[in-house]
Amino acid sequence: RKEVEQDPGPFNVPEGATVAFNCTYSNSASQSFFWYRQDCRKEPKLLMSVYSSGNEDGRFTAQLNRASQYISLLIRDSKLSDSATYLCVVTIRFSSNTGKLIFGQGTTLQVKP
Amino acid sequence: DTEVTQTPKHLVMGMTNKKSLKCEQHMGHRAMYWYKQKAKKPPELMFVYSYEKLSINESVPSRFSPECPNSSLLNLHLHALQPEDSALYLCASSQEGDRGTEAFFGQGTRLTVV
């Protein structure tokens, strides 16, 4: 079983649509949770951190459910520029000073005019 | 703009060559990472340095040799690579501490082994 699992999609949606991505993680010791965005042939860029209390940034809302080991990302009023791959990322800590980021396989979003 | 700088952006090397990838950050981050990314796949962790010491080696072949000369620099020395090593190599850094924090990535080095 993969440590971080996402539906790879692709999700093809019209402009203005609301789209939701889900992610599950297997390691209950996971400490931090993020959504990254990656455009074609570019580096991953941090979109937002994810907290149990929820996190909203404009049209983007992220939520963490630790009991279910489940992370979500909601995008409202989709724009053409939202087309990208969205990576669910979990941090697993090995010691007080060392951790590593584990990536899900990514979910591809294509927003159509 | 990314605050993690990688050079070169592109590299073509033969299987007998020796080359190095370089990464630099000036955010005061104490953890630095090397990731490898193949097309249409997520980044895969290779190495983690914490406070300039190698903390994690994800069973990477010895033809990849990391080096951390100081807290701002991270190198990846390449020797006798194979064509299947062609990929995007990403460097990242993060602040270390009791809680995990987000990592920032460089633009990557696109490596082609011929």
Question: A10 contacts in B (CB within 8 Å)?
Answer: none
Q: Which amino acid is at B93?
A: S
* Nearest CA-CA partner of A33 in B103, B48, B96: B103
Q: Is the pLDDT of residue B6 over 70?
A: yes
Q: Is the pLDDT of residue A96 over 80?
A: no
Q: Which two tokens stand for residue B58?
A: 């994800």
Determine contact, residues B78/B86, Cβ cutoff 8 Å.
no
**CA distance to partner chain A, nearest, from residue B42 (Å):** 5
Whether B7 and chain A come into contact, CB under 8 Å, resolves to: no
Give how far the C-alpha of residue A10 lies from the chain's centroid of Cα atoms, to the nearest Å: 14
Whether B51 and chain A come into contact, CB under 8 Å, resolves to: yes
Question: A100 contacts in B (CB within 8 Å)?
Answer: 33, 45, 48, 56
Q: Cα(B40)–Cα(B102) distance, rounded to whole angstroms? A: 23
pLDDT (tens digit per residue) in A12-68:
999 999 999 999 999 888 888 999 999 999 999 999 999 888 899 999 999 999 999
Q: How far is CA A58 from CA A34, B20, B47, B96, in A?
A: 16, 41, 35, 28
Q: Which two tokens stand for residue B86?
A: 């062609």
Q: Is the pLDDT of residue B99 over 80?
A: no
Element (H, E) at B5: strand B4-7
What integer best gives the mean pLDDT of chain B? Answer: 93
Chain A residues 41-70 within an 8 A CB cutoff of chain B: 41-46, 49
**CA distance to partner chain A, nearest, from residue B100 (Å):** 6
What pairing do the DSSP bridges indicate for beta strands A107-112 and A11-14? parallel
**CA distance to partner chain A, nearest, from residue B71 (Å):** 14
Scanning every residue of chain A, which has its alpha carbon at the shortest distance from the alpha carbon of B43? A103
Q: Cα(B93)–Cα(B49) distance, rounded to whole angstroms? A: 9
Q: Cα(B8)–Cα(A105) distance, rounded to whole angstroms? A: 26
Q: Cα(A103)–Cα(A35) distance, rounded to whole angstroms? A: 10
- Listing DSSP states for A24-75 in one string gives EE--TTEEEEEEEEE-TTS--EEEEE--TT-EEETTEEEEEETTTTEEEEEE
